[in-house]
Every structure is written in C-alpha cells, then in structure tokens.
Structure 1
C-alpha cells in the first residue's frame, strides 16, 4: 500500500477526551474515530488489525471443533420474554418497536436466538454435543461509555454456545473452550490470567474470566503467590486473623456525631479492625425481592455486594433508605447488629469474635465489648468481604495479591438456565424427552484491539506484535531523486511478490514526519531508502525502536525477510 493513497489520518497530539493509553494511541494513529458516545468507526488500518485478531480467534475455535454461523443483531422481543430476561436484563438492553408495533431489541448477547434456532432443529442425542459460534457486532446501552474500545456501547464479540446431553459432556467442552482461550491469548502475545468469576446477568454455574494484565484495567483480580488460585474480587475467597478485643460485659459509650468506622476507632483509640460495620440493604429480584437485610463486616473491610446478593438469593442489592433503616429499628450513622428486626448476616471472619465495637441503634451511641456468640441471635455467617492484598489464600497458606485486569474473555457453564424456558429438547438414549444443557463462551474482539495496545506501546506509539501489525514493513523513501524512487519501488514490488505486507511512505513529507508516523502506527520493521545511502549502494534496515544497519541494496529484500522471520518467531 502506498501511504499517499492510504486513509490513515494521524494526529500529533493526544485527544483531550482520551483517558487511557489505548484510546489515545488508537485515535492518534488513525485506527479509530468516534461516531457518538461509545460507538466508533474502524478505519482501514484499524480494520486490518481487527481482522488479524479475528483470524486467530477463528483458527482456534475451528481447531476446538466449533462451527461458525451468523445470527441477526436485531432480535424479536418475544424470545426475550420467553427466557424471562426482557425486564431482568435492565436498561442496557436497547428496545424498540417496528412499524408493525412488534417489540425488538439490539442484541447484547445471543442466548435466546441460538436456543430458538437449536430448539427447532435438535431431535436426537446423536446430534450432540454441538458448539456454534459467531463474530458479530453487539450493542449494550452502557450508562457511561468510557476508555474508547474498552467499554463502548457497540462492540465486536465472538460468542459461542454449546449444547450437551449431560453435565459430564458440558464439563468436558468447558475445559476444551478454556484451553482454546488460553491458546488464543497466547498467540496474541498477551500477558493474561484466567480467574474464577461471578456469572453475573448471564447466569449459570461455573465461570472463568480471562484478564489481560494492565494498570488501566477496570477489574480487580486477586491471586495467590503460592498456588494457582485466582479470582475476580467479586468472588475471591480469602481469610484473615480473627479480631479479639477486651472480654467484658456489653456497655454503651457516647460517640457524639461520630459515625464512620475510621472516626469511631480514632475517637475510642482502638484498631479500626475491632469495629463492626453494619450496612443495610434492600434485596432486588428473586424470592426475597424487597426484603430489608443487614450485613456486617469488620471496620477495615469492604462488603462485596455481589457476594451478599448470592448469599440471600437475590439478583442484586441496593442501599436502604433512612426510612427503611428506621423501620427495622436502626438509626442512620449508628446502625449496629444487636436488636435489628431483620435478617442479619455476618462475614464469616467475625465468627467467634469478642471485644468488638458496633452501633447501638441510638443516636450518638455505640456498644463496646460486643461478643458475637453471646450478644447476637439468629446470625447467619457467609463470605461477604472483599479480598484484600495480604489476606490468606482460600485454597492454601499463601498470601493473596491484587492486580488490575482488562476482561477480554468469559466462559460459563449455563446448565439449563436458558435451554429449559426456551424448550431446547431432544430424545435421549432411553427414548425420553430431555432438556439440553448449555455452555457459552465470549471474547471481546474489539476490546482485544485496545487491550493489546495497553501492553504493547512505548513513548513513540504502538508496538504491535509482528503477527498482528497492520503492515509488517514500513518502507520509507528519503529524498526526491528519480533514482531513490526507482530503488524504493523495486524493493516495494519484490516484498509484495514475497507476500509481505508493506506500507510504502513515498509522501512528499519531511523525514521526521515519516519516521514519527511509522513509529506511531507500530510497523515492526523499517526499510529506509535515501539518496545518501543509495549513492553508496546501500539501504538501511532495522526493527521499530532499534538501530538500523546498512546493507547492500541488492540484499535488502532478503535481509528484510530474515528479520521478519526472526520477529514473528
């Protein structure tokens, strides 16, 4: 490709609205352009990289035995009503009506559509297992799109769905997909980590997320320094030492206008870990919808709301209002576990704790010397706290560490969460009607474009792995003589004939502009043809960001091919 004919509008400065490095560089290098909030154009150079990522994903999915198909982005509302997700999915599901007043939605995911398809074609257990996948645009109406391609409203996703006759077969395919994902992210040259995860709005049982490790990641993942245990903090299990204070009778102490755990601890001159932080919530969804729940963690811990929702069998939880707190006998700012008229859950690290301080459910008063076993009735213990760095591993005696990650893949064992309401039935080996069990497996393809940049950049721009670069070679012509142009074109043609992707910068621009653009867009190898070198019969060749060496012009193509082979491994 000749640069002068290529649509690649680079920018000299970082866009003002770009916060993370991938957003800045993909805009500056002309890979993407914003259309509207959370929606982007993929320009020609960006699309080239996107297609290479897709090719790796397709190759590994095909190797794993999955079959590609393509489903519609627009989905009929009745399928979502049938699965029970039309209202449950929430405001991220963009709904609309057509001219016939039929309600439809833009697909954020395709469980309903794939179940509808398979339910009409599946007859016998002999057709199972079956794994179908697609690479397609999705739309989720994010309340706050941010970070460019990292969290957009429209995005490109690979989603696969498997169907099985029994749980054992599903478990085997889950492991197959897990291994395929590891191969995909390894081939993309990423530093990544699979972690145990919450199933979220998709539902189901077993679940793993795949995170690209990067400081810009929105997710916090916990991992052990002594074993392979890793999990999203929404699910991570860990332990810490039991808090033990002074053993004495329960007593009240004045704490005027002191409400936060840190302020109470400072006021009483005690460790904040001896405080009991009591949080009051309203359950959302499930059989407990609307119930007021009180949950307690240590004063220096954070309560993980997703863990609490799972512990009570709700879809989610919301903070209770002052009126709701009052209705259970609490006083905002001074809520404590003793005497509340509602269900009470304590984090399991508080079991057996003594000498604690908690709100007295009276204004400006706290209780001291609280003994959990002695002073509290009808307590349920559960894992409610969010894992912190330095906690004991939930699997071994190691120490938990925290890292930031960008979620780029997620695999689920769905079971019959969708196949049962969507009536995905088949005749089993005994001749009886049975419900297929399912798995689903997603990869954020467009998010990978950003995640790779988050790990592959320097002060000059993007440093693409050679197998993903939009062009393998940047051929740069330095000079205006006929001889240098003819030599450049000869090398350009030879490289094309050898099957090498080349971007030939033959523009009438200053050398500094050409070199800066080559570095910015991240071409792995640079071949420079200039008047001075050509006069000595030489070209200059080097890796991006490194030194270039002079080679005879007759050997330039062979030297480039050797260097390219070394760069791609």
Structure 2
C-alpha cells in the first residue's frame, strides 16, 4: 500500500476528549473516529489491526474444537422473558419496538439465543458435546462511555458457548477454553493473568477473568510469581492454577490462606480482556434445553460461556505497547509488517530502489506501507513512529551512495545499516 493514496488521517495534536494512551494514539494514528458517544468508525489502518486480532482469536477457537456461527444483533424480547432477564438486565440493554409493535432488543450478549438454537436443533446425546462461537458486534448503553474502544457502547466480541451432558463434560470444555485463551493472548505478545472472578449479570459459579499486564492498566493486580513460571507452558492444569493467588487490588488480602509471602507476590497493572463462566443449567432449565440420554431420560444441558473483547483488545495492546512517540505493534497484530520510507521522493535512485524493495517484499507476502510522499524526512519518521509498524526500512541518497539502507526495529529502537539484499533477507525470513 502506498501512503500517498492511503486513507490515513493522522493528527498532530491530541484531541481533548482522549484521556488514556490508547484512545489518544488511535485517534492520532488515524485508526478510528467517533461517530456518536461510545460508537466509532473503524478507518482502514484500525480495521486491519482489528481483523488481525479477530483472525488469531478465530484460529485458536477453531483449534480448540469450537465451531463458528453467526447470530443476529437484533433479538426478540420474548426469548429474554423466557430466561427471566428481560426486565432484570437494566438500562444497558437497548430496547426496540418494530413496526408491528413487537418488542426487540440490540443484543448485549447471546445466552438466550444460543440456548434456543441448541434446544431446537440438538436431538440426542450422540450429538454431544458442542462448543459454538461467534465474533459479532454488541451494544450496551453505558451510562458514561469513555476511554475510546476500551469502554464503548458498540463493541466487537467473541462469545462462545459450550453444551455438555454433565458437570464433568462442562468442566472439560471450560478447561479447553481456559487454555485456548492463554494461547490466544500469548500469540499477541501479551502476558495474561487469569483470576477467579464474579459472574455478574451472566450468572453461573466457576468463573475467571483474564487481565493482560500493562503499565497503564485500569486495575491493580496482585499475583503469585508462579504464574510467570506457568506462562512458558503450552497447557495449564486448572486445578493447579486454582490454588494460586491472583486478584485485583480491590480484592487483595495479604492474610488470605493462599496469598504468597512478599518475595513471591507480584504487583502490576492489568486490563480485563476476557471472561469465562461455568453456567450449569441456569439457562437450559429456564428455557427447557434438554437432551434425550442413552436410556431415554431427558438431561438438562450443562453450559459454559466464554467471552473475549476483540475491539477492547486493540486498546489493551496499545496500552501495553507504546511510548511517547506512538504505538509499538507486536508483529502478530500489526496493520503492516514494514514501513518503507523513501527519504527523497523524486530522486531516481531512491525511487527505483524503493520500488524494487516494495515489489520484492510484496511478492514474498510481506505487507508493506510505502511512504512515497513528497514530504520532509522528519514528517515521515514521526508518522511511522506514531502508527508503530514493527519494522522501518529507510532508503536515502547518502546511504544508497554507499550501498546501504537502514533497518529499524520499532519495539527495541535498534537500527542497523544493511545492503538491500540483506535487509530483504531479514524481512522475508
């Protein structure tokens, strides 16, 4: 993609309404624009990151055995009356009446609808267990939306639901999703701390929140250093993990039986990006979601639900990876891998070298944002640091005169001078 034609409306000044780093940088880097309170348009650069986050979430859900479907954003109020939540949910639910005076709602979550889908279509224990998920937009009418996409009213969420014949089957699905979450966040370059949590409006008993560590995180977290040791493992046993201490600051109790001694207790800042629940039969009982067992008996499905804030994750990643110049994207979610900077557009050697580099990287599957604008070098460097691509490849007259280009790693700040061939080899490795 050529920056001269790319829609990237960057800002030099920070908008007054932006209170946290991710909101400031997403606006300044031309990733989003607010269209109404807590509702955002995703511009091309921001959408590329959002799609990369969505792709990783989807790949790990599929690898865990979950199957993707897509439910509507608009739901019938009658379904929510079946579960007893229509009147209880509160003003966060956007209630709608259609032209036939039927009561509808813009879904803040999907327990009722997925339970209906299961109830109406699964006929035998032979079809069990099932794990179904979607990545879909939600709406919750927050009284004070703030912090950009971190606490907006419209947001993209991955919500997943498991159905089993008994508690052991439900617990197995819970453990599968638990580990899928750890793998998902790890692939994005994030350190995730799972901690026992309240179930809130969703309901259920067994519950964990996943907080990713960031210096500017919204919550204080306290956790056993053993979490760092477990993080290197591919699979974590839930029984072992449940014995470890991990809480947010409002629940911290140094006298708790499982609170480790001071030398093993770590304190950090965190941002909640995922929440999983064992629901039991809360919804299957209310909505009569039963499955005929092997002896003909009817069994209430044991359910679990598992959410990841996909759009919220984008803000959380920026909170974890930024400096005073801009964003520093982990390569797995970056909108482009390389920012190619032509220091002197119009110079024959610079133009030809950059065109050759751009073509070579593109042909090798490397996503490149080529700054071919006729602008000052300082402007180009500032914009590239602001949008935070993992690599910057700089070609200028002085370097090319001696056969080198400069390769900069945005995360570490390391710069090296290499031949064009060596730079290409490193970026395509």
**Residues 1:14 and 2:30 aligned together:** no
Structure 1 residue 142, shift from structure 2 partner = 0.4
Over aligned residues, Cα RMSD in angstroms?
A: 1.7
Q: Is the 8 A contact 1:470 1:523 kept in 2?
A: yes
For residues 543 and 427 of structure 1, do their structure 2 counterparts lie closer, same or farther at Cα, with a shift above 3 Å needed? same
What do the CA deviations read for 1:532-554 (whole angstroms, capped 9, x no partner)?
Answer: 22222332222226343332334
- Within a 5 Å distance, the mapping from 1:35-434 to structure 2 comes to 35-224=35-224, 228-232=244-248, 236=251, 387-388=252-253, 391-395=254-258, 398=261, 403-434=268-299
Residue 105 of structure 2 aligns to a residue whose secondary structure is strand
Structure 1 residue 524, shift from structure 2 partner = 1.2
Structure 1 counterpart of 2:300: 435
Structure 1 counterpart of 2:234: none
What do the CA deviations read for 1:29-63 (whole angstroms, capped 9, x no partner)?
Answer: 11111111111111111111111111111111111
Residue 72 of structure 1 aligns to a residue whose secondary structure is coil
TM-score, structure 1 normalization: 0.69
Structure 1 residue 181, shift from structure 2 partner = 0.5
What do the CA deviations read for 1:240-269 (whole angstroms, capped 9, x no partner)?
Answer: xxxxxxxxxxxxxxxxxxxxxxxxxxxxxx
Q: Is the 8 A contact 2:245 2:260 kept in 1?
A: no
C-alpha distance in 2 between matches for 1:513 and 1:401: 41
Structure 1 residue 190, shift from structure 2 partner = 0.7
Q: Is the 8 A contact 2:318 2:327 kept in 1?
A: yes
For residues 83 and 150 of structure 1, do their structure 2 counterparts lie closer, same or farther at Cα, with a shift above 3 Å needed? same
Structure 2 counterpart of 1:510: 376
C-alpha distance in 1 between matches for 2:27 and 2:37: 15
C-alpha distance in 2 between matches for 1:4 and 1:92: 42
For residues 68 and 510 of structure 1, do their structure 2 counterparts lie closer, same or farther at Cα, with a shift above 3 Å needed? same
C-alpha distance in 2 between matches for 1:464 and 1:216: 16
Structure 1 residue 195, shift from structure 2 partner = 0.3
C-alpha distance in 2 between matches for 1:56 and 1:166: 30
C-alpha distance in 2 between matches for 1:222 and 1:54: 29
Q: Is the 8 A contact 1:188 1:468 kept in 2?
A: yes
What do the CA deviations read for 1:438-484 (whole angstroms, capped 9, x no partner)?
Answer: 00000000010000111101121100111211111111001121221
Structure 1 residue 216, shift from structure 2 partner = 3.8
Structure 2 counterpart of 1:253: none
Residue 217 of structure 1 aligns to a residue whose secondary structure is coil
Structure 1 residue 395, shift from structure 2 partner = 2.3
Residue 392 of structure 1 aligns to a residue whose secondary structure is coil
Q: Is the 8 A contact 1:224 1:393 kept in 2?
A: no
Structure 1 counterpart of 2:415: 548
Structure 1 residue 403, shift from structure 2 partner = 4.3
Structure 1 counterpart of 2:238: none
Structure 2 counterpart of 1:492: 358
C-alpha distance in 2 between matches for 1:559 and 1:127: 49
C-alpha distance in 1 between matches for 2:417 and 2:247: 51
C-alpha distance in 1 between matches for 2:216 and 2:323: 15
Residue 284 of structure 2 aligns to a residue whose secondary structure is coil
Q: Is the 8 A contact 2:224 2:260 kept in 1?
A: no
What do the CA deviations read for 1:416-453 (whole angstroms, capped 9, x no partner)?
Answer: 11111111111012211121110000000001000011
Picking from 401, 413, 426, the partner of 1:535 is 401
Which shifted more, 6-15 or 533-542? 533-542
Structure 1 counterpart of 2:315: 450
Structure 1 residue 398, shift from structure 2 partner = 3.4
C-alpha distance in 1 between matches for 2:104 and 2:209: 30
Q: Is the 8 A contact 2:217 2:319 kept in 1?
A: no
C-alpha distance in 2 between matches for 1:447 and 1:403: 20
For residues 553 and 406 of structure 1, do their structure 2 counterparts lie closer, same or farther at Cα, with a shift above 3 Å needed? closer
For residues 233 and 528 of structure 1, do their structure 2 counterparts lie closer, same or farther at Cα, with a shift above 3 Å needed? closer
Residue 4 of structure 2 aligns to a residue whose secondary structure is helix
Structure 2 segments unaligned to the other structure (5+ residues) = 227-242
Structure 1 residue 228, shift from structure 2 partner = 2.2
C-alpha distance in 1 between matches for 2:37 and 2:393: 39
Residue 420 of structure 1 aligns to a residue whose secondary structure is helix
Structure 1 residue 220, shift from structure 2 partner = 4.3
State the aligned residue count: 409
For residues 65 and 517 of structure 1, do their structure 2 counterparts lie closer, same or farther at Cα, with a shift above 3 Å needed? same
C-alpha distance in 2 between matches for 1:214 and 1:553: 36
C-alpha distance in 2 between matches for 1:428 and 1:542: 62
